[in-house]
């Protein structure tokens, strides 16, 4: 991916002043539904109409998409509105049909990105077509798998690439349907700054009231655009009803977003920022020193445990620390989620230090 400068080329076909907006129903249901939503989205800031034609459902027995007939509806919607179109492809046969029906952008779903064999088959099927491909993150939080899929398309000569962040599956109950884990797309963005990054707030949220906030977070983190599920009658959608919004709501969300600049040349901004950043640097230095001290103390405990032949992991003590730190963290305005992940990482490192002592 040496020449990743090419990546943002396809984005320049769209209005660069505004984040790219891809919108449309989770699934194409009927010709009438697709045409109606396309006309309603036409003047909403939307550039690309999305609709799932083949739906990968986690469990059988749910609506699995209308199939190839839906591609004709997308084609008609494009002819009537001028919107570009996009749909999910999961097999080389889907690719062939989507190409026949002139779909502009193909996206790779989260359940496909996890499988390098299928991704390779799709890359082979797309070779030489000049299509734009957007790769959703894999369902599991694995950055390499995501990068690997992008590399397979890139190696097949598909340079108009982008990625879609749709969150990662969660086992525990959470306010999100899929955990955003912002650090993963941020790491991807740092590695490939010219790879367009698109946020899918709909599949992260799973519910429509969280979409506006997620979009603002995306903009604050320099995302290039959004893919939002929008339906003419969300409550009666055949799939993902709870997370879809009407075109009116979508327009409201989009118009209320605060578009941020990447920087500002004002000297007052730069000198204040410089000062605050130097404070942060000093604090970060202290955090590292304290962590070093904590680990040295953990090693002393390790020696003591070794001498008395006591196990490294002491669950009762660990739960006490965690409970206490969550309360302390709250006093400092730290979220419970943050304190837990911070102390899990510290605890893991402590155990590692103690284990090293045991090995000696």
Q: Which residues bind ligand PEP (CB under 6 A)?
A: 26, 52, 56, 109-111, 136, 166, 203
Nearer to ligand PEP, 81 or 230 (CB): 230
Task: Please state the closest distance from residue 166 (CB atom) to Mn ion, in A.
Answer: 9
Nearer to ligand PEP, 131 or 203 (CB): 203
Cβ-count burial of 50 within 10 angstroms (0-12 exposed, 13-18 middle, 19+ buried)? buried
User: In this structure, which long-range contacts are made by residues 114-121, counting pairs with CB atoms below 8 Å and at least 24 apart in sequence?
Assistant: 114/138, 114/139, 114/140, 114/142, 114/145, 116/145, 116/148, 116/149, 116/152, 118/90, 118/91, 119/148, 119/149, 119/152, 119/153, 120/152, 121/91, 121/92
Six token digits for residue 330: 């709250």
Q: Which member of 20, 23, 26, 149 binds Mn ion (CB under 5 A)?
A: 26
Stretch of residues binding Mn ion (CB under 5 A), selected from 22-30, 41-49, 276-284, 323-331: 22-30
Nearer to ligand PEP, 159 or 198 (CB): 198
Nearer to ligand PEP, 162 or 302 (CB): 162
How remote is the C-alpha of 73 from its chain's centroid? 28
End-to-end Cα separation, the chain, in angstroms: 43
The item of ligand PEP, Mn ion, none sharing an interface with residue 205, based on CB under 5 to 8 Å by kind, is: none
- Closest to 111 (Cα-Cα) out of 65, 55, 163: 55
- Per-residue binding string, Mn ion, 223-262, x by CB under 5 A, is -----------------x----------------------
Task: Please state the closest distance from residue 204 (CB atom) to Mn ion, in A.
Answer: 11
DSSP state string for 101-125:
TT-SEEEE-HHHHT-HHHHHHHHHH
Task: Please state the closest distance from residue 104 (CB atom) to ligand PEP, in A.
Answer: 16
Six token digits for residue 71: 């591609």
Nearer to ligand PEP, 52 or 225 (CB): 52
Nearer to ligand PEP, 152 or 203 (CB): 203
Task: Please state the closest distance from residue 38 (CB atom) to ligand PEP, in A.
Answer: 17
Six token digits for residue 114: 């996890």
DSSP state string for 191-255:
H-TTS-EEE-HHHHHSSGGGHHHHHHHHHHTT--EEEEEB-SSGGG-SS-GGG-B-HHHHHHHHH
Number of residues engaging Mn ion in binding (CB under 5 A): 2
The item of ligand PEP, Mn ion, none sharing an interface with residue 36, based on CB under 5 to 8 Å by kind, is: none
Return the number of other C-beta atoms located less than 10 Å from residue 115's C-beta.
15
Report d(CA 296, CA 354) in Å as an integer: 10
The item of Mn ion, ligand PEP, none sharing an interface with residue 166, based on CB under 5 to 8 Å by kind, is: ligand PEP
The item of ligand PEP, Mn ion, none sharing an interface with residue 22, based on CB under 5 to 8 Å by kind, is: none
Nearer to ligand PEP, 26 or 156 (CB): 26
The item of Mn ion, ligand PEP, none sharing an interface with residue 177, based on CB under 5 to 8 Å by kind, is: none
Which residues contact Mn ion (rule: CB under 5 A)?
26, 240
């Amino acid at each position: 991916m040496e020449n990743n400068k090419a990546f943002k080329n396809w984005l320049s076909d769209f209005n660069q002043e505004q984040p790219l907006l891809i919108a449309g129903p989770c699934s194409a249901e009927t010709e009438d539904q697709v045409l109606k939503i396309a006309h309603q989205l036409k003047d909403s800031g939307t550039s690309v109409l999305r609709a799932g034609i083949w739906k990968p459902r986690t469990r059988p027995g749910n609506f699995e998409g209308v199939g190839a007939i839906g591609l004709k509806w997308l084609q008609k919607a494009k002819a009537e509105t001028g919107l570009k179109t996009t749909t999910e492809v999961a097999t080389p046969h889907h690719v062939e049909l989507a190409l026949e029906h002139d779909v502009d952008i193909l996206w790779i779903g989260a359940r496909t990105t996890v499988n390098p064999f299928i991704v390779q088959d799709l890359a082979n099927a797309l070779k030489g077509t000049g299509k734009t491909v957007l790769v959703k993150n894999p369902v599991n939080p694995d950055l390499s798998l995501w990068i690997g899929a992008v590399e397979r398309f890139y190696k097949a000569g598909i340079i108009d690439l982008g990625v879609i962040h749709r969150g990662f599956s969660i086992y525990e109950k959470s306010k999100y349907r899929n955990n955003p884990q912002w650090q993963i797309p941020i790491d991807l963005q740092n590695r490939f700054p010219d790879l367009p990054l698109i946020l899918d707030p709909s599949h992260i949220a799973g519910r429509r009231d969280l979409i506006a906030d997620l979009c603002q977070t995306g903009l604050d983190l320099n995302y290039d655009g959004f893919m939002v599920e929008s339906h003419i009658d969300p409550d009666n959608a055949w799939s993902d009803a709870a997370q879809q919004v009407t075109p009116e709501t979508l327009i409201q969300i989009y118009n209320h977003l605060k578009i941020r600049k990447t920087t500002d040349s004002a000297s007052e901004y730069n000198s204040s920022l410089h000062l605050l950043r130097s404070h942060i640097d000093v604090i970060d230095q202290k955090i590292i020193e304290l962590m070093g001290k904590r680990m040295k103390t953990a090693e002393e405990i390790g020696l003591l445990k070794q001498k008395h032949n006591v196990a490294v992991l002491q669950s009762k003590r660990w739960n006490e620390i965690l409970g206490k730190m969550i309360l302390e963290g709250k006093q400092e305005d730290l979220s419970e989620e943050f304190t837990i992940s911070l102390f899990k990482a510290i605890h893991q490192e402590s155990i590692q230090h103690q284990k090293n002592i045991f090995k000696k």
